[in-house]
């Protein structure tokens, strides 16, 4: 079988628990909805702008946050499958190691796009008015980013297979700085210069900027292609590292 | 002779140990497994059984040596090996997040079966392994025995020529073990496949395996059928008790009779049996034939036989003869000659 066919089978397998139990998707919307409900009005009050305008700036960042937190945790599923034994069984099937990773990483795109769409719909009730083609392109960028972040999370899960606490320790250490240093919650231009400099090395920054211009329908803004390159780069690195890890995952 | 389904030559696996030391998990394993046979690797934890299986299933490459499985080289043609075999690991193969029916269908697709065929085999195995009631439940709610039967179904989905099972019944209660074996043997009869399994349960190897490979500290130390291993390596024990005053006569009779039957060590062990009697024990081959002869000879010599017992050996006695250690006791202790997972969720 080809890698594409193998990956499709793995993708389908991974998607089944999500489709059988969609409540988990609803539950994972609690965190971003909390941010929208509590941080949105706070931001609106601080800036003195109406909530609808605040959401126009804030929602794209929340979509990137959903992508980051949703996909970063996924490696724990593989980690437990390694510990409990089902991953070993998968390794003895004829499916290639690359497909085992690619199929899993591709699956990450589905829940995050669904969640992002639901969030946009809810935000629309409070005045969020995205440019639809721009939003669709933004969701594609997020899907690509999610695949890369998912692949990295799987690689981390594999790396932590003998000491599972490492997975959670790295998550805790990395996720919040990544989020804060991407301008998801507040514009970094308002902070100290060194924070802005660090954010230039954070690929999420470019995705947040890209989504903010895309929901305004500004396709010509350089932030769009910069966001695309950042997403592609994360995915390329994620898949390379992830496939390499999968080959050594016993 | 037909081509063996597994052929290993000087298969060796060495793990880096602490410091400069290396751990030889499997040392130059050479064996041929005939198609259609049921063979058991018997040995204590850490003997190298699972590592051998992991090399044969392509999960880990050997450090040196060669092996073919279903005619394919385990290093050069890993995909072909994996497409030809079914594997049931020590741990559960079904993901806790999945439903059994979904997992079986996915497994079929991964082996290249079409959707229709995959569904057909899924339904067939669910019925054959009596898993209908739990097929649509998440695996984490299944009992230990149900999970193990689910593992067998997963291993059988591709209808493999060769099924490798790594300690299939470890951790199950006696009833679930019996039920599991019933299903394994039923599936074997139905599909006519070759089975190679590892176990540290002596009774399983004794009862079910047509051939037993005894492995200890990475070395294959015996290879035969269970009855032959017991007959040649352990022998039967005849125990008689006689009045103390006839002990010398009885010992002489036993010595002569045992020697004439070809016993390797005809000298009886003598110990006090209490009540002015002595116990004499001698190791012989085919004790069931010799015991009546011995009683008759003792009687004729005037040594009255008070009691007579025949004890036949177990595979544990074979292991004891080969290594000087009891497999039953070894199995209580977990050796870790090979890497293990840690950090399982509580």
What does the pLDDT look like over A163-181, one tens digit per residue? 999 999 999 899 999 999 9
* Whether residue B119 sits in one domain with residue B45: yes
* Whether residue B58 sits in one domain with residue B189: yes
Q: What is the mean pLDDT of residues A20-40?
A: 89
- Residue B163's contacts (CB-CB under 8 Å, 6 or more residues apart) are B85, B86, B87, B88, B155, B156, B193, B194, B195, B196
Residue B154 to residue A89, Cβ atoms within 8 A: yes
* Whether residue B180 sits in one domain with residue B157: yes
* Whether residue B247 sits in one domain with residue B194: no
Task: List the alpha helices (DSSP H) in A73-202.
Answer: 75-84, 86-91, 97-107, 109-124, 132-159, 165-180, 193-199
- Residue A41's contacts (CB-CB under 8 Å, 6 or more residues apart) are A51
Q: Residue B101: give the domain boundaries.
A: 6-230+326-330
In a domain, B344, yes or no: no
Chain A interface residues (partner B, CB cutoff 8 A): 1, 6, 9-10, 12-13, 16-17, 20, 77, 80-86, 88-96, 161-165, 250
Per the CB < 8 A criterion, the answer to whether B261 and B207 are in contact is: no
* Whether residue B223 sits in one domain with residue B83: yes
Residue A28 to residue B8: CA distance in whole angstroms: 51
Nearest CA in chain A to B136: A20
In a domain, B26, yes or no: yes
pLDDT value, residue B1: 56
pLDDT tens for the 346 residues of chain B, in order: 578 999 999 999 999 877 778 889 999 999 999 999 999 998 888 889 999 999 999 999 999 999 999 999 999 999 999 999 999 998 888 998 999 999 999 999 999 999 999 999 999 999 988 899 999 999 989 998 899 889 999 998 988 999 999 988 887 888 888 888 888 888 888 888 999 999 888 888 888 999 999 998 889 999 999 888 887 777 888 999 999 999 999 999 999 988 888 777 888 999 998 888 999 999 888 888 889 999 999 999 988 899 999 988 888 888 888 887 777 766 555 443 343 333 332 2
CATH number for the domain including B258? 3.30.70.120
Which residue has tokens 């539950």?
Answer: A27
- Residue A170's contacts (CB-CB under 8 Å, 6 or more residues apart) are A156, A160
Q: Is the ipTM of this complex over 0.85?
A: yes
Residue A163 to residue B343, Cβ atoms within 8 A: yes
pLDDT above 80 (res A241): yes
Residue B82 to residue A165, Cβ atoms within 8 A: no
Distance from CA of B30 to the nearest CA of A (A): 23
Determine whether B141 is exposed, middle or buried from the number of CB atoms within 10 Å of its CB (0-12, 13-18, 19+): exposed
- What percent of chain A is modeled with pLDDT above 70? 100
Chain B positions in Cβ-Cβ contact with residue A86 (cut-off 8 Å) = 91-96, 98
* Whether residue B291 sits in one domain with residue B214: no
Residue B327 to residue B318: CA distance in whole angstroms: 9
Maximum separation of any 2 CA atoms in chain A, in Å: 60
Q: Say how many domains are in chain B.
A: 2
Residue A84 to residue B91, Cβ atoms within 8 A: yes
C-alpha torsion B319→B294→B302→B269, nearest 10: -10
Per the CB < 8 A criterion, the answer to whether B30 and B202 are in contact is: no
For A96-148, the pLDDT digits (tens) are 999 999 999 999 999 999 999 999 999 999 999 999 999 999 999 999 999 99
In a domain, B216, yes or no: yes
pLDDT value, residue A123: 94
* Whether residue B261 sits in one domain with residue B138: no
Residue A96 to residue B79, Cβ atoms within 8 A: yes
Residue B110 to residue A9, Cβ atoms within 8 A: yes
pLDDT value, residue B260: 86
In a domain, B336, yes or no: no
CATH number for the domain including B34? 3.40.50.300
Q: Nearest by CB to B112, which of A82, A92, A94? A: A94
Among B137, B151, B158, CA closest to B94? B151
* Whether residue B104 sits in one domain with residue B67: yes
pTM of the model: 0.84
Among B5, B21, B23, CA closest to B338? B23
SS3 B66: strand
SS3 B304: coil
Chain B interface residues (partner A, CB cutoff 8 A): 54, 57-60, 79, 82-83, 85, 87-99, 102-103, 106-107, 109-112, 138, 151, 154, 339, 341-345
In a domain, B342, yes or no: no
Q: Nearest by CB to A161, which of B102, B138, B341? A: B341
In a domain, B20, yes or no: yes
Chain A positions in Cβ-Cβ contact with residue B166 (cut-off 8 Å) = none
* Whether residue B199 sits in one domain with residue B102: yes
Per the CB < 8 A criterion, the answer to whether B225 and B53 are in contact is: no
For A179-237, the pLDDT digits (tens) are 999 999 888 888 899 999 999 999 999 999 999 999 999 999 999 999 999 999 999 99
Cβ neighbours, 10 Å, residue A148: 27
Residue B91 to residue A85, Cβ atoms within 8 A: yes
Q: Nearest by CB to A88, which of B89, B112, B339? A: B89
pLDDT value, residue A210: 97
Residue A212 to residue A204: CA distance in whole angstroms: 12
Among B290, B308, B297, CA closest to B239? B308
Chain A positions in Cβ-Cβ contact with residue B106 (cut-off 8 Å) = 9, 12-13, 16
pLDDT value, residue B332: 56
* Whether residue B297 sits in one domain with residue B212: no
pLDDT value, residue B74: 96
Q: Nearest by CB to B82, which of A88, A93, A163? A: A93
Classify strands B64-69 and B72-73 as parallel, antiparallel or unpaired. antiparallel
* Whether residue B69 sits in one domain with residue B163: yes
Nearest CA in chain B to A248: B60
Residue A117 to residue A59: CA distance in whole angstroms: 11
Residue B237 to residue B244: CA distance in whole angstroms: 21
* Whether residue B249 sits in one domain with residue B199: no
Chain B positions in Cβ-Cβ contact with residue A76 (cut-off 8 Å) = none
In a domain, B127, yes or no: yes
How is A138-171 classified by DSSP, letter by letter? HHHHHHHHHHHHHHHHHHHHHHTTTSTHHHHHHH
Distance from CA of B226 to the nearest CA of A (A): 30
Q: What's chain A's average pLDDT? A: 93
SS3 B242: strand
In a domain, B303, yes or no: yes
């Amino acid at each position: 079988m080809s890698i594409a066919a193998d990956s499709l089978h793995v993708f389908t397998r991974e998607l089944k628990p999500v489709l059988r139990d969609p409540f988990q998707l609803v539950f994972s919307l609690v965190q971003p909805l909390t941010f929208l409900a509590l941080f949105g009005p706070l931001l609106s009050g601080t800036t003195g702008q109406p909530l609808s305008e605040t959401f126009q700036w804030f929602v794209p960042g929340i979509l990137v946050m959903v992508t980051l937190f949703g996909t970063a945790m996924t490696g724990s599923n593989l980690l437990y499958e390694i510990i409990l034994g089902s991953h070993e069984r998968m390794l003895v099937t004829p499916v290639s190691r690359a497909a085992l990773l690619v199929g899993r990483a591709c699956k990450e795109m589905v829940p995050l796009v669904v969640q992002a769409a639901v969030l946009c719909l809810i935000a629309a009730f409070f005045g969020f008015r995205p440019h639809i083609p721009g939003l669709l392109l933004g969701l594609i960028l997020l899907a690509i980013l999610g695949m890369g972040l998912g692949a990295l999370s799987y690689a981390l899960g594999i790396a932590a297979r003998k000491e599972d606490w490492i997975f959670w320790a790295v998550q805790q250490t990395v996720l919040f700085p990544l989020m804060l240093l991407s301008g998801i919650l507040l514009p970094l231009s308002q902070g100290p210069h060194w924070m802005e400099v660090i954010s230039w090395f954070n690929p999420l920054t470019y995705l947040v900027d890209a989504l903010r211009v895309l929901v305004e329908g500004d396709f010509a803004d350089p932030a769009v292609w910069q966001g695309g390159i950042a997403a592609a780069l994360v995915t390329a690195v994620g898949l390379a590292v992830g496939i390499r890890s999968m080959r050594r995952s016993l | 002779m037909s081509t063996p389904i597994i052929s290993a030559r000087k298969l060796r696996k060495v793990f880096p140990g602490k410091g400069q030391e290396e751990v030889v998990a499997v040392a130059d394993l050479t064996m041929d497994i005939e198609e259609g046979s049921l063979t058991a690797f018997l040995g204590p934890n850490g003997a190298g059984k699972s590592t051998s299986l992991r090399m044969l299933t392509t999960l880990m490459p050997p450090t040196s040596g060669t092996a073919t499985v279903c005619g394919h080289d385990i290093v050069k043609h890993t995909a072909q090996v994996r497409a030809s075999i079914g594997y049931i690991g020590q741990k559960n193969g079904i993901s806790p997040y999945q439903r059994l029916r979904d997992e079986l269908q996915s497994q079929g697709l991964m082996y290249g079966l079409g959707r229709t065929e995959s569904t057909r085999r899924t339904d067939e195995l669910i019925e054959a392994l009596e898993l209908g009631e739990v097929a649509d439940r998440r695996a984490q709610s299944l009992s230990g025995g149900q999970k193990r039967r689910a593992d067998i179904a997963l291993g059988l989905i591709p209808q493999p020529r060769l099924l490798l099972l790594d300690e299939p019944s470890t951790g199950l209660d006696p009833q679930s073990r019996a039920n599991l074996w019933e299903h394994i043997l039923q599936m074997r009869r139905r599909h006519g496949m070759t089975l190679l399994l590892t176990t540290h349960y002596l009774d399983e190897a004794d009862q079910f395996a047509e051939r037993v490979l005894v492995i200890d500290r990475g070395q294959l130390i015996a290879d035969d059928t269970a009855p032959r291993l017991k007959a040649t390596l352990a022998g039967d024990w005849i125990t008689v008790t006689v009045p103390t005053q006839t002990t010398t006569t009885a010992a002489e009779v036993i010595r002569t009779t045992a020697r004439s039957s070809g016993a390797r060590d005809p000298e009886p062990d003598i110990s006090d049996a209490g009540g002015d009697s002595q116990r004499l024990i001698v190791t012989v081959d085919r004790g069931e034939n010799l015991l009546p002869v011995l009683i008759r000879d003792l009687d004729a010599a005037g040594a009255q036989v008070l009691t007579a017992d025949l004890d036949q050996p177990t595979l544990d006695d074979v292991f004891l003869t080969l290594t000087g250690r009891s497999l039953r006791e070894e199995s209580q202790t977990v050796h870790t000659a090979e890497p293990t997972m840690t950090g399982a969720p509580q």
